[in-house]
Amino acid sequence: MLHLLYYAPCIPGNSGAAIRLSACTGSMLHLIEPLGFVMDDTRLKRAGLDYHDLAHVKVHPNLDEAVAEIEGSLYAFTGHATTWHTDVSYRDGDGLLFGPEPTGLPAEVLADARITEQVRIPMTPQRRSLNLTIAASIATYEALRQCGFPGLT
């Protein structure tokens, strides 16, 4: 199982869409506090549609508790990296770490020794970022492709 980690997410609709992504890919979604919303937010529920009961979601009080559940490598996604997300070899049990909208992962998180590598999704120059769950979807499907789309049809 892949692990998607959202560090301090702010926008409920993005986390709702991540719930759908988790349900459709069999990935575990880790939401790391502080959250910019409450879990019963109507925007979160609307974006997640009826997938909430089909997804694997955990809320963690801090990054340490979330990372403790990652069996594999931990990849931090940031626009400041030079390695593309397609240039690493993903395996079952890896974690894909994403920062909050609109700031991304803070420097102290990017400096964490538990991060295997910082990676980026290529995009047109002079653009700040992709939507959080769009970026997570791109990364998740690349990792699943490399793993042979386990459990997906």
36 pLDDT band (50/70/90 cuts)? confident
Which residues are annotated as part of the binding site for S-adenosyl-L-methionine? 99, 121, 129
What confidence tens digit (pLDDT) does each residue in 97-124 have?
999 988 999 999 999 999 999 999 999 9
What confidence tens digit (pLDDT) does each residue in 40-67 have?
767 666 665 577 778 899 999 999 999 9
How far is the C-alpha of 68 from the C-alpha of 22, rounded, in Å? Answer: 19
pLDDT at 39 (0 to 100): 81
Which residues are annotated as part of the binding site? 99, 121, 129
pTM of structure: 0.93
CATH superfamily of 3-146: SPOUT methyltransferase, trefoil knot domain (3.40.1280.10)
Using the 8-state DSSP alphabet, how is residue 120 labeled? Answer: E
Average pLDDT for residues 130-139, to the nearest whole number? 96
**For residues 80 and 52, which has the higher predicted lDDT (pLDDT)?**
80
Q: Which two tokens stand for residue 91?
A: 């395996």
CA–CA distance from 42 to each of 36, 105, 125, 132, 152 (Å)?
13, 26, 35, 19, 29
| Cβ atoms 85, 77 nearer than 8 A | yes
Average pLDDT for residues 138-150, to the nearest whole number? 97
Q: Which two tokens stand for residue 109?
A: 């998180």
**Rounded to 5 degrees, what are φ and ψ at 17?**
-65, -35
Q: Which two tokens stand for residue 61?
A: 């009080």
